[in-house]
């Protein structure tokens, strides 16, 4: 339905983005925020059309999509406000000390935008992590033009969202080239965008294979660029003994819900639950199995994802010494995903890397370790994760320091007594983690700190006040927090 | 004299560093700073021996080495203080909102150390960017153990500095494995260190070939790691017309000094000076030539560097349409570098990539552009740089916006009316820039912000106050700045 962008179209979009960059970065922070708010307004104005389009393309239900669109607008507003507040600029000013030997010169540093950012939309979030999603919002907030490679699974929705962005750009008199939207069914368009000389950074949310490929291309360029790929994970949950004894039924209920939420199509879906073999764990497994049996299969995002789920789940279930605990008792229809729980011992898990792979969908594997030592071993051998969760009492935590320290090494967000699904959009959120959860654990893709993925520090040495950017001028007209001679302050410099 | 580390030694150092990491990261920030101050004290106590050793190995004069050692101690103290002050932790706290639907959970985020950091010392800074230099100080401040691969050109000095670090570690009861020092004359030891599973980040200062190789290895690992390589640059200086007319003699004097400072062996050495062809530029070239003729050749760091300078300089001088303006009038002795100035037109420069390469030593190329448009073209086609400098009046700047914007795209530090040599150690310093100046323009290797290269955010969700790290507790016992519900504050949370 949509044709792939030609190399001329790609080149032209990138050239215009490069030119727009020089104008956009000079606009006041407020103009960036106004533009982002205007995008939010356009999205809101077109809510019905957008939600209908996304329902058709993704099989996601109306309420979820309305919620996701609201979240997308919230992100645009929140990151825009953060951009205006200016703390993310990390302004550092050291004033001159002329009588030092040698004289200390005036130096003032702030974050400046990297340049045009290429964003790849996620299949599982047609709004919040796609065309006008988190990466786009962060890039606009940082001062970067954005070129979106539409996800082919929701290309029409993407096209409509792009229309809203372009309309907002027009209303706000943004420079031509501030935003472009390109289609590409295969890998060629994406590759050409990542390799283009005017591309200065990439944001991606999706599979390990896809995200790693973009990362490799980014590094293989003549001039390497940062590629932030968020590639999901299996989000291990550690059940500690005292807590499990106290609350196995509650935990089973909560996790049956978390595992099957949104047909398991969240990057924070709990795909691995680790306990210690005893009656409490067996009781929990049986309770979780009973819950899962009652949950109906539901339509997945698109046929490709439903097929991949079926295959990966079956591969996992057919591994040696993996036992199926429970599948939904309700027969699945076409393109639906069937809630499934399996179990294996710690030893089996540790020796079989297939079981460490993400099964994207409503599936979780319960690991029964023979003792705490083996549970620590599992934590030590797990790959990097977006989240890890402890179900634990205070006593459980105080008595198992080695486990806690091992879990800290592998995750970006460490949850106590909760479920990993549900990613709050706030400054304290860390949505990122050691590889393979993301390609750079030092950044986040949710929350306004995600802006910093697309900016770099620049220092101005010995410039007169009148020629400095407003953010760095003595007067602090923007009223932002700045570190002046090692002290955080909003004060004017005299 | 020193033997290459065996793979057993490498493995053992990395294993011990990994174990030490789990203890070191839990120590209070003050203990890290105390340890760093203790290293400074040990260095000070051994000043004479260290300086004598470095003089022998690097040919650098005593006064310079004393200054560099003082700077190294200053860095350790300053980054330690910054670590204690805690702003770099980027603490973000969003408190719970239980009556929100769904309830908003308590989330608290801070930077945590990445793990063991491998540091490669620089040949041109045996103290400040080597064994106990900036990268090591940043890693210790972040909470990371350090494994240094000694630079073979000053292996004995490195060994002595390592001794001082180990003595300080012992005095401060640091965990065994907090620091290791390994030798390696070839690339094997370095490669094994970068590829080791327990290595979580790399810091390097040196050549483009070396730094890019480490970066590639870091990315090719099964689990890629961040490699921050600072690889130097040619630090272009743009002479604007009005300023040049007013002050050509002053500029010539200042630049003759900057080009030959430390025998040109600084990564901020100005290797390219760009003006517009007219009488003022010819006058400047002639004045610069006269100054350079008077400056005596001096011993370079080691025979390899002297030989490379000779070769690269001669290659540059023998390019088509490159004219030698001036060489020192004093005959050079063995291993000395001869101050040299050459010139070419903008057209010649733009068409010959050889002229864009760094000639590490006392050499600079003056480019005569036919007009401002060509000067802008040169700025637009230059590779990434640590610094760029404008010699300009306010009028020059206001009239040449296109040039200013083009220069902004290529540099980390933008200097007005000064010289790029001389890198102040302060928070506002940016010592980093777009590739190939460094492998990631989003970080700096000078100033306490360099700590952030070796740390990543971790969020704690729904943890009780008593079990949180001190930095995140309600009481704010450390008295650090934190962003609580989007407001920067030092207040206690009630």
- In CATH, what number is assigned to the domain containing residue A112? 3.40.605.10
Give the pLDDT score at B468: 98
Residue A186 banded pLDDT, cuts 50, 70, 90:
confident
Give the one of B22, B463, B488 whose C-beta lies nearest to A87's C-beta: B488
Identify whether residues A391 and A450 lie together within a single domain: no
A72 located within any domain: yes
Per-residue tokens: B131: 């064994």
Q: Yes or no: say if B266 and B302 are a contact pair by the CB < 8 Å rule.
A: no
Q: Answer whether A467 sits within 8 Å of B417, measured CB to CB.
A: no
Asked whether the predicted pLDDT for residue A1 surpasses 80, the reply is no
Q: What is the pLDDT of residue A102?
A: 84
pLDDT at A418 over 80: yes
Preferred mutation among B213, B461, B468 to probe A, highest tally of A CBs within 10 A? B461
Nearest Cα of chain A lies from the Cα of B362 at a distance, in angstroms, of: 22
- Give the list of residues 6+ apart from residue B229 with CB closer than 8 angstroms, or none: B202, B204, B205, B206, B210, B211, B212, B214, B215, B438, B439
Which residue in the block uniquely carries the two structure tokens 């908003």? B104
Domain span at residue B21?
Answer: 7-231+441-456
**Could you give the C-alpha distances from B148 to A467, B131, B462, in angstroms and in order?**
43, 6, 39
DSSP string, A196-209: -TT--EEEEES-HH
Asked if A172 is an active-site residue, the reply is no
- Is A428 inside a domain boundary? no
On whether both A83 and A184 belong to a single domain, the answer is yes
Q: Is residue A227 located within the same domain as residue A358?
A: no
Question: Given the structure tokens 């929100």, which residue do they identify?
Answer: B100
Say if the Cβ atoms of B422 and A102 lie within 8 Å: yes
Q: Which residues in chain B have their CB less than 8 angstroms from residue A87's CB?
A: 483, 488
CB contact under 8 A, A92 and B428: yes
Residue A494 within a domain = no
- The 3-state DSSP composition of chain A as helix, strand, coil percent (nearest 5) reads 45, 20, 35
B220 plus B262 within the same structural domain: no
CA distance B275 to B251: 12
Whether residue B411 contacts residue B387, with contact meaning beta carbons closer than 8 Å, is answered with yes
A376, A276: one domain: yes
**Statement: residue A145 has pLDDT above 90:** yes
Cβ burial, residue A193 (10 Å; 0-12/13-18/19+): buried
Contact B223 A436 (CB under 8 A): yes
Whether B230 is catalytic: yes
Angle formed at CA A75 by CA A74 and CA A78, multiple of 5 degrees: 85
Tokens of A281: 């764990």
| B2 domain residue, yes or no | no
CA angle A58, A232, B105 (to 5 degrees): 90
Could you give the C-alpha distances from B338 to B330, B455, B464, in angstroms and in order? 8, 43, 66
Give φ, ψ of B149 to 5 degrees. Answer: -95, 110
Largest CA distance in chain B: 82
Q: In what order do the strands lie in the sheet with A411-416?
A: A323-327, A340-345, A363-369, A272-276, A236-239, A385-391, A411-416, B455-461, B107-113, B92-94, B482-484, B487-489
Phi, psi of B336 (to 5 degrees): -95, 155
pLDDT number for residue B232: 80
Position B104 in a domain: yes
Which residues in chain B have Cβ-Cβ distances shorter than 8 Å to A460? 413-414, 416
Same domain assignment for residues B158 and B279: no
What is the pLDDT at residue B102?
Answer: 84
Q: Please name which of B100, B161, B177, B153 lies closest in space to residue B128, comparing C-alpha atoms.
A: B161
CB atoms within 10 A of CB B334: 7
Distance from CA of B418 to the nearest CA of A (A): 8
**Spatial CA neighbour of A270 closest among A438, A419, A425:** A419
CB B458 within 8 A of CB B91: no
In a domain, B473, yes or no: no
Tell me what percent of the residues of chain A surpass a pLDDT of 90: 98
Q: B274: closest CA among B260, B261, B284? A: B284
- Do B72 and B185 belong together in one domain? yes
Number of H helices, E strands in chain A: 15, 19
Note whether A130 and A122 are within 8 A (CB): yes
Q: Are residues B488 and A90, on separate chains, in Cβ contact within 8 Å?
A: no
Q: Return the percentage of chain A with pLDDT > 70, whole number.
A: 100
Q: Chain B contacts of A436, Cβ < 8 Å?
A: 223
Report the C-alpha gap between B425 and B407 in whole angstroms. 24
Q: Do A418 and B462 touch (CB under 8 A)?
A: yes
Rounded to 5°, the CA angle A43-A45-A50 comes to: 55
Please state, in angstroms and rounded to a whole number, the distance separating the CA atoms of residues A465 and A116: 29
Which candidate, A126, A143, A285, A266, places its Cα nearest to that of A200?
A143
Q: Which of B107, B224, B397 sits opposite A429 (nearest CB)?
A: B107
pLDDT digits (tens, 9 = 90+) for A328-337: 999 999 999 9
Chain A environment of B379 (Cβ under 8 Å): none
In chain A, what's the furthest Cα-to-Cα distance?
A: 82
Q: Is residue A465 part of a domain?
A: no
Q: Residue B410 belongs to a domain with what CATH number?
A: 3.40.309.10
CB contacts < 8 A (A, B): 193
> Distance between CA A314 and CA B208 in Å, rounded?
49
Residues A220 and A268 in one domain: no
Residue A66 and residue A47 in contact, taking contact as beta carbons nearer than 8 Å: yes
Specify the pairing of strand A487-489 against strand B92-94. unpaired
Alpha-carbon torsion angle A301, A305, A306, A307, nearest 10: 160
Q: What total of structural domains would you count in chain A? A: 2
What whole-number distance in Å separates Cα of residue A374 and Cα of residue A383?
A: 16
Is residue A158 predicted with pLDDT exceeding 80? yes
Instruction: Convert B53-103 into a string of H (helix), E (strand) and C (coil).
Output: HHHHHHCCCHHHHHHHHHHHHHHHHHHHHHHHHCHHHCCEEECCECCCCCC
| Chain B residue closest in CA terms to A481 | B488
Token pair of B213 as six digits: 């190789």
Q: Of these residues, B138, B144, B267, B411, which one is catalytic?
A: B267
Which residues in chain A have their CB less than 8 angstroms from residue B215's CB?
219, 224
Task: Looking at the structure, tell me whether residues B252 and B198 fall in a common domain.
Answer: no
- Kindly list the distances between the CA atom of residue B404 and the CA atoms of A278, B165, B379, B388, B408, in Å, as whole numbers in the listed order: 70, 44, 9, 10, 6
A298 and A445 fall within a common domain: no
In this prediction, residue B183 carries a pLDDT of 97
Residue B305's CB is within 10 A of a number of other CB atoms, namely: 21
Question: What residues contact residue B307 under an 8 Å CB cut-off, 6+ apart?
Answer: none
Same-domain status, A319 and A273? yes
Q: Both B242 and B379 in a single domain?
A: yes
Question: How many residues does this entry show for chain B?
Answer: 494
Q: What is the pLDDT along chain B (494 residues), one digit of tens a residue?
A: 799 999 999 999 999 999 999 999 999 999 999 999 999 999 999 999 999 999 999 999 999 999 999 999 999 999 999 999 999 999 999 999 999 988 999 999 999 999 999 999 899 999 999 999 999 999 999 999 999 999 999 999 999 999 999 999 999 999 999 999 999 998 999 999 999 999 999 999 999 999 999 999 999 999 999 999 999 899 999 999 999 999 999 999 999 999 999 999 999 999 999 999 999 999 999 999 999 999 999 999 999 999 999 999 999 999 999 999 999 999 999 999 999 999 999 999 999 999 999 999 999 999 999 999 999 999 999 999 999 999 999 999 999 999 999 999 999 999 999 999 999 999 999 999 999 999 999 999 999 999 999 999 999 999 999 999 999 999 999 999 999 999 999 999 99
Start-to-end CA distance of chain A, whole Å, equals 62
Q: What is A210-252 written as a DSSP string?
A: HHHHHHHHHHHSSS---EEEE-----EEEE-HHHHHHHHHHHH
Q: Give contacts of B383 with chain A, Cβ < 8 Å.
A: 223
Cβ(A265)–Cβ(A305) below 8 Å = yes
pLDDT for B396 equals: 98
Answer whether residue A297 is part of any domain. yes
Contact indicator for A93, A484 with CB cutoff of 8 Å: yes
Does the pLDDT at position A210 exceed 80?
A: yes
pLDDT over 80 (residue A364):
yes
The C-alpha angle with vertex B447 and arms to B443 and B452, in degrees rounded to 5, equals 45
Strands (DSSP E) found in B158-312: 179-182, 201-205, 227-230, 236-239, 272-276, 298-299
CA distance A162 to A50: 11
Chain A residue with minimum CA distance to B383: A223
């Amino acid at each position: 339905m949509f044709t792939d962008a030609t190399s001329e179209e790609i080149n032209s979009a990138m050239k215009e983005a490069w030119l727009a960059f020089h104008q956009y970065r000079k606009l006041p922070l407020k103009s960036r925020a106004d533009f982002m708010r205007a995008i939010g307004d356009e999205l809101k104005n077109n809510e019905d059309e957008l939600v209908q389009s996304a329902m058709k393309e993704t099989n996601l239900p109306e309420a979820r999509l309305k919620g996701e669109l609201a979240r997308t607008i919230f992100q645009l507003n929140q990151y825009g406000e953060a951009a205006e507040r200016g703390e993310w600029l990390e302004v550092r000013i050291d004033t001159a000390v002329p009588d030092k030997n040698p004289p200390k010169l005036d130096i003032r540093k702030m974050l400046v935008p990297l340049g045009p950012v290429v964003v790849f939309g996620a299949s599982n979030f047609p709004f919040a992590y796609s065309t006008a999603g988190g990466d786009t919002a962060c890039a606009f907030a940082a001062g970067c033009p954005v070129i979106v490679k539409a996800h082919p699974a929701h290309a029409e929705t993407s096209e409509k969202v792009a229309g809203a962005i372009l309309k907002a750009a027009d209303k706000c008199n943004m420079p031509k080239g501030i935003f472009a939207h390109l289609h590409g069914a295969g890998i060629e368009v994406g590759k050409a965008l990542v390799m283009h000389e005017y591309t200065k950074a990439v944001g991606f949310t999706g599979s390990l294979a896809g995200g790693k490929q973009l990362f490799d291309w980014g590094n293989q360029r003549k001039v390497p660029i940062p590629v932030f790929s968020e590639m999901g994970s299996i989000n291990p949950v550690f059940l500690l003994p005292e807590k499990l004894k106290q609350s196995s039924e509650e935990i089973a209920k909560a996790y049956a819900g978390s595992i099957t939420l949104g047909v398991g199509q969240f990057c924070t879906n709990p795909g691995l639950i680790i306990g210690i073999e005893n009656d409490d764990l067996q009781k929990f497994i049986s309770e979780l199995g009973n819950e899962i049996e009652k949950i109906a299969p539901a339509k997945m995002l698109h046929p490709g994802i439903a097929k991949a789920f079926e295959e990966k789940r079956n591969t996992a279930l057919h591994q040696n010494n993996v036992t199926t605990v429970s599948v939904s008792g309700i027969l699945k229809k076409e393109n639906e995903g069937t809630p499934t729980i399996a179990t294996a011992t710690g030893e089996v898990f540790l020796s079989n890397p297939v079981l460490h792979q993400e099964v994207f969908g409503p599936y979780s594997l319960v690991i029964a370790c023979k003792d705490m030592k083996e549970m620590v071993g599992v934590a030590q051998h797990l790959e990097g994760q977006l989240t890890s969760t402890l179900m634990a009492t205070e006593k459980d935590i105080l008595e198992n320091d080695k486990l806690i320290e091992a879990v800290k090494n592998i995750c970006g967000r460490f949850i106590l007594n909760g479920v990993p699904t549900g990613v709050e959009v706030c400054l304290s959120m860390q949505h990122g983690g050691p590889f393979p959860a993301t390609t750079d654990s030092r950044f986040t893709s949710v929350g306004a700190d995600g802006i910093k993925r697309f900016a770099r520090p620049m220092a101005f040495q010995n410039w007169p006040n009148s020629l400095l950017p407003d953010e760095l001028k003595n007067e602090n007209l923007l009223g932002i927090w700045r570190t002046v001679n090692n002290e955080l302050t909003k004060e004017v410099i005299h």
